[in-house]
Chains A and B, each alone.
Chain A
Amino acid sequence: MKILAKKDLLNVLKNWSGSYDVFAPGIKETGDTIFDCFDESTFTLDYGKPPLPQKSEVFPQNEIIFELKNGEYREVITGNEKMIFGMRACDVMGMRQASSFMTRGDVTDPYCKSKEEGVLKVIMACAGPQSETCFCTTVGSGPFAEKGFDLQFYDMGDEFLVEAGSERGGNLIVKGPFLEIDDAEARTRIDEFKIKASNSVEEMPALKEAMNRLRDGSVSEEVWEHFGRKCIVCGGCAFVCPTCTCFNVSDYVTKPGEGLRVRSWDACLFGGFTRETSGHNPRGSQALRLKRRHEHKLLYYNETDIQDGLCGCVGCGRCSDYCPVHIGTLEVVKAIAEAR
């Protein structure tokens, strides 16, 4: 185990920036925090829950996957080594779930895989909930990670305890300002941190209750009708979700004889996502589409998809933070749990 004095963190990040693209939290003039290229002048540790997960680093909002030029097709696979510093454990779990959905068994998604392999995930373990919508302990995604990271930092006041989760991560902290600390001592301090952190995040029994009811088939359609009536179909819940992976593929002619095939984020809440060529739509109402979205997170998943989590939701609470009409997972599971 290693220990790093807090005052040395900026130098460490500057040093890493020499070798990788480092993404880290920064604070804007307006007071908003955002993950962007590391910038010493805006870097902050006081960033709470980042407004967006870092899913786009492995699954960009838009990415070119094919190019047609000079009469030839060329597959475009990109991905370079980059570090995301300060990820939250729930977002790491989200990235694991999203990536494993893309690549599993004998199916490989080369566009996502090449990016994912390049990403060094450095977690800043949460000492407690980052907002009132956090429910990571209920779904087993946080407030710290057990695996799936390269490094995990524990904030101990004036210093960080730093845990390596991979060989690549370990290689980053062999020397420099990272000092050796007795493993047993570090473990004790980390365990204390973990217990305190876990206890401070409120359990959300409605989620498990909702999962049970979905499994029993005892959820009234009225629940979905209620939400379907008010959904404004912006797709925002899918775009802020760390685990949503719906995409669309479209071709663009850039000039005669040349073109691009682009993959873009999509959302299962859009009617056209499931509409068939005949015009028939198996999920023909917004209520049915919302039902399907939440069933996919809470009922229809398999072990590979959820990567040691409880379900397909990682409890970050962003859908509840941002939905303009309050149709987040929190509101949905409460409505299911409370419905008669």
Chain B
Amino acid sequence: MAGLAATFGSGAMTNSIVEVEEADLFFIIGTNTTSQHPLIGSRIINAKERGAKIVLADPRKIQLADYADIHLRHNIGTDVALLNGMMNIIIEEDIYDQQYVEERTENFDQLKAVVSRYTPRVVEQITSVRVSDLEDAARAYATTGKSMLFYAMGITQHATGTDNVKTCANLAMLTGHVGRPSTGVNPLRGQNNVQGACDMGALPNVFSGYQQVANEEVRKKFEHAWSVGKLDGKVGLTITEMMAAAQRGDLNALYIMGENPMMSDPDSSHIELALSNLDFLVVQDIFMSETARLADVVLPATSFAEKSGTYTNTERRVQIAHKAINPPGSARDDWDIICEVGRRSGYPMDYRSTADILKEINELTPSYAGITRERLVKGYGLQWPCPSEEHPGTPFLHKDKFTKGLGSFLPCDFKPVSEVPDEEYDFLLTTGRISYQYHTGTMTRRISILEREAPEPLVEINPDDAGRLGIKNSDEVELISRRGSIKLKAEVTERVPKRVVFSTFHFHEAPVNLLTNPVFDPDSGIPEYKGCAVRVRRCA
């Protein structure tokens, strides 16, 4: 988000899901699309079958690798080098979009200077990607008119996540692939409403619609609307900063809603220390999660089927959902609980329904001004920006000009993962998700069929490494990092390259985040889940 906001002026998927159907090439980097965004992955497979091309950059042999025309299995954490290498070739061979670069972007000379250092030979050294493959990928992406770039957490969950995003954006701008249908830079959001949460200002630096808290005029507008005195103009803390502050004793109370940091945050033994160090912890969730167990107060919330409201999906589409069943026990809607807490704390919040709240969103958020309840119930949602009730919504962003005016090339240099394998910890552990379980399993591990499909944590290990360590399929192995160790079964598979192991953060029996490295991207605050050094040992 931070990366795209800096280059384009807007941190969201630039184009729409349906545009996949018209695209001629997909450059897919850091997203296991068929597994994590299956309906987008399916469209990509269908497009391939009608003749579109796929350039895949992923260390793992994911399902889309079977369909890729070119599969670049670059070393983990070398995305910037890989993308700079592609740009080096594109500039060197003069196949970039000169007119686009001149008319719509700034800072090209600086980009040129930086990427000139990333010659194909240098990049091969860093990434292990063959020169000819890199050239093929660069040429195919640059010279195909309708090229869509997709990325997900494989790009963002690095200490250099923002650099990775900026470099993706640089590549797309260089080739003129932003601002037209079936092109663009398309981050696939990991949850159904994470775009919505960001849009609503669930970030430390903005109100809804990315209106800066540091801007006095913006603050005045919200002060007036909420009838409050002075709103704080200081930027708040990210999750990672909060945990550090709690551990230092600088943060006293925390109110967590629908999140399970005991399982999802890196270096979880430190998370437990941080949370225990709080004077007061409130957790609002639908189940008693690992985090909720530590809370002083647990507030039971409602599940998706028990509440009404709107969700904003990965393509900026706001969709309405209606309550289907009554909540059990004393569970109440999140907004209702917050209002009650507000009232009891002496600040009256008298919204009567989600309709009232949406009305306020329309009034205070220019990009959501035209997304009214009346319009939402009649169709399949509206894509922001949608500034008025007459506006049809925006399928793709940055037509004719970028949100911020000129698109800025923000070139970055390659930095390796923070914890490079050494003699003692000689594997890179990369983490992710599988399709049957969701995040920390709070919900999916209660579903019998999902649990049958994926009942236990597994670690993927290459047959070469497994052979060397005497590990057979389903053997119990121990993964050890500088921060902790877990035991789980091995899945011996070519899916992972040599010296890389892959596991998921779904299972409390082997919480992989005991191992992960708590370094994070300085701009976005996102931790480096995608690479840390571990040792692998076969359990006797």
Interface string of A192-229 (1 = CB under 8 A from B): 00000000000000000000000000000000000001
Instruction: Tell which of B37-45, B142-150, B160-168, B202-210 binds the partner.
Output: B37-45
Instruction: Identify which of B87-95, B214-222, B374-382 touches chain A.
Output: B374-382
* Contact B42 A232, beta carbon cutoff 8 Å: yes
B149 to chain A, nearest CB (A): 22
State whether B453 touches A271 (Cβ < 8 A): yes
Instruction: A331 to B328: give the CA distance in the assembly, Å.
Output: 44
In the assembled complex, A14 has its CB within 8 A of some CB on chain B: no
The reply to whether A248 and B377 form a contact with Cβ atoms under 8 Å apart is no
Assess the A272–B66 pair: CB atoms within 8 A: no
Q: Given A29-B377, A325-B45, decide whether A266 and B449 contact each other with a Cβ distance below 8 A.
A: yes
Min CB–CB distance A32 → chain B (angstroms): 10
Q: Please, how many angstroms separate the alpha-carbon atoms of A127 and B286 in the complex?
A: 49
Separation of A234 and B67 alpha carbons in the complex (Å):
19
Interface size class of B (residues with CB under 8 A): 20 to 34
Task: Give the residue name and chain of the A residue nearest to B48 (CB).
Answer: A230
A48 interface residue (CB < 8 Å to B): no
- Which listed residue (B43, B377, B435, B448) contacts A264, Cβ 8 A? B448
Q: What residues on B are CB-neighbors of A234 within 8 Å? A: 38
| A325-B46 in contact (CB<8A) | yes
In the assembled complex, the Cα of A250 lies from the Cα of B448 at a distance in Å of 6
Q: Are A232 and B38 also in contact (CB < 8 A) when A248-B448, A264-B448, A272-B449 are?
A: yes
A70 at the interface (CB under 8 A from B): no
A279 adjacent to chain B (CB < 8 Å) = yes
Asked if B34 CB lies within 8 Å of chain A CBs, one says yes
**A160 in the interface (beta carbon within 8 A):** no
Q: B474 an interface residue at 8 Å Cβ cutoff?
A: yes
Q: Mark A247-283, 1 if CB is under 8 A from B, else 0.
A: 0101000000000001010100011100000010000
Q: Which chain B positions have C-beta within 8 A of A230?
A: 45, 67
A229-B449 contact given A30-B378, A234-B38, CB 8 Å threshold = no
Is residue B468 contacting chain A, with contact meaning CB distance below 8 A? no
Say what secondary structure dominates the interface of chain A.
loop
Look across to chain B and name the residue whose beta carbon is closest to the beta carbon of A275. B452
A-contact 0/1 string along B11-39, CB 8 Å cutoff: 00000000000000000000000100011
A334 interface contact, C-beta 8 A: no
Q: A262, A266, A325: which contacts B42 (Cβ < 8 A)?
A: A325
Q: A325 to chain B: which residues have CB within 8 Å?
A: 42, 45-46
Give the residues in chain B near A30, CB-CB below 8 Å.
377-380
Contact of A324 among B39, B378, B448, B449 (CB under 8 A): B39
Closest to B39 in A: A324
- The answer to whether A264 and B449 have CB atoms under 8 Å apart is yes
Quick check: B41 and A232 within 8 Å, CB to CB? yes
Taking CB atoms, residues of chain A closer than 8 Å to B435 are 232-233
Q: Which residues of A contact B67 (CB under 8 A)?
A: 229-230
The B interface, classified by DSSP as helix, strand, loop or mixed, is helix
Minimum C-beta distance from B400 to chain A (A):
32
A92 to B377: give the CA distance in the assembly, Å: 33
**A-contact 0/1 string along B41-58, CB 8 Å cutoff:** 111011000000000000
Say yes or no: is A326 at the interface (Cβ < 8 Å to chain B).
Answer: yes
| A269→B449 CA distance, assembly (Å) | 12
Q: Which residues of B contact A232 (CB under 8 A)?
A: 34, 38, 41-42, 63, 435
Q: Do A229 and B66 have beta carbons less than 8 Å apart?
A: yes
Assess the B449–A248 pair: CB atoms within 8 A. yes
Question: Which residues of chain A from 33 to 56 have a CB within 8 Å of any chain B CB?
Answer: none
Which residues from chain A contact B46 at a C-beta distance below 8 Å? 324-326
A203 to chain B, nearest CB (A): 26
For the complex, give the distance between the alpha carbons of A262 and B446 in Å: 13
A279 to B45 CA separation, bound complex (whole angstroms): 30
Q: In residues 370-420 of chain B, which contact A (Cβ within 8 Å)?
A: 377-380
Interchain nearest-CB distance for B94 vs A (Å): 37
Closest to A249 in B: B448
Cα A133 to Cα B43 with chains together (Å): 20
**With a CB–CB cut-off of 8 A, which chain A residues contact B474?**
279
**Given the complex of chains A and B, what is the CA–CA distance between A227 and B453 in angstroms?**
20
**Complex interface: chain A residues within 8 A of B43 (CB):** 324
B45 cross-chain contacts in A, Cβ below 8 A: 230, 325
- Residues from chain A with a CB closer than 8 A to the CB of B39 are 324
Q: Which of A230, A264, A266, A279 has the most CB of B within 10 A?
A: A230
Most buried by B among A264, A272, A279: A272
Q: Is the CB of A270 within 8 A of B453?
A: yes
Q: How far is the CB of A334 from chain B (nearest CB, A)?
A: 14
8 Å CB contact of B449 from A29, A270, A279, A326: A270
Q: How far is the CB of B75 from chain A (nearest CB, A)?
A: 27
Closest to B33 in A: A232
A323 CB to closest chain B CB (Å) equals 9
Rounded to whole angstroms, the CA-CA distance of A30 and B379 in the bound complex is 5
Check B38–A29 contact: CB distance below 8 A. no
Contacts of B453 in A (CB 8 A): 270-272
Contact A29 B448 (CB under 8 A): no
Nearest residue in A to B38 (C-beta to C-beta)? Answer: A232
Rounded to whole angstroms, the CA-CA distance of A234 and B39 in the bound complex is 10
Within 8 Å CB of B380, what residues of A?
30
> Using Cβ atoms and an 8 Å threshold, which residues of chain B touch A248?
448-449, 452
Interface string of B440-463 (1 = CB under 8 A from A): 000000001100110000000000
Nearest neighbor of B379 in chain A, beta-carbon distance: A30
Residues of A within 8 A of B378 (CB): 29-30
Once the chains are docked, how many angstroms separate the CA of A29 from the CA of B373? 13
Q: Report B183 CB to chain A, min CB distance, Å.
A: 23
CA distance A119 to B474 in the complex (A): 49
Q: Is the CB of A324 within 8 A of B42?
A: yes
Q: Which residues on A sit within 8 Å (CB–CB) of B42?
A: 232, 324-325
Most buried by B among A233, A264, A326: A233
Residues of B near A272 (CB, < 8 A) are 449, 452-453
Interface bits B513-531 vs A (CB < 8 Å: 1, else 0): 0000000000000000000
CB distance from A326 to the nearest CB of B (A): 7
> How far apart are the CA atoms of A233 and B434 in the complex, in Å?
12
Measured between alpha carbons, how far is A326 from B21 in the docked complex, in Å? Answer: 14
Expressed in whole angstroms, the Cα–Cα distance for A17 and B41 within the complex equals 45
A326 to B379, CA, bound (A): 26
CB B286 to nearest CB in A, in angstroms, measures 16
Q: Is the CB of A324 within 8 A of B379?
A: no
Complex: how many Å from CA A234 to CA B41?
Answer: 12
Q: Mark B234-260, 1 if CB is under 8 A from A, else 0.
A: 000000000000000000000000000
Which residue of chain B is the closest to A279 with respect to CB atoms? B474
Per the bound structure, the CA–CA distance linking A316 and B315 in Å amounts to: 32
| Complex contacts, B449 vs chain A, CB 8 Å | 248, 250, 264, 266, 270, 272
A232 to B63, CA, bound (A): 9
Return the chain B residue nearest A235 by Cβ. B449
Among B43, B67, B378, B452, chain A packs the most CB atoms within 10 A around the CB of B452
A324 to B38, Cβ gap below 8 A? yes
| B52 → chain A closest CB, angstroms | 14
Residues of B within 8 A of A250 (CB): 448-449
Residue-wise, chain A 313-327 has the 8 Å CB interface mask toward B (1 for contact) of: 000000000001110
Q: Which 4 A-B pairs have the closest CB atoms?
A: A250-B448, A324-B42, A272-B452, A272-B453
Q: Which residues of B contact A (CB under 8 A)?
A: 34, 38-39, 41-43, 45-46, 63, 66-67, 377-380, 435, 448-449, 452-453, 474
Question: What would be 26 A-B contacts, judged by CB atoms less than 8 Å apart?
Answer: A29-B378, A30-B378, A30-B379, A30-B380, A229-B66, A230-B45, A230-B67, A232-B34, A232-B38, A232-B42, A233-B435, A234-B38, A248-B449, A248-B452, A264-B448, A264-B449, A266-B449, A270-B452, A270-B453, A271-B453, A272-B449, A272-B452, A324-B38, A324-B42, A325-B46, A326-B46
Given contact pairs A232-B41, A325-B45, enumerate 10 new A-B contacts (beta carbons under 8 Å).
A30-B378, A30-B380, A229-B63, A229-B66, A250-B448, A266-B449, A270-B449, A270-B452, A325-B42, A325-B46
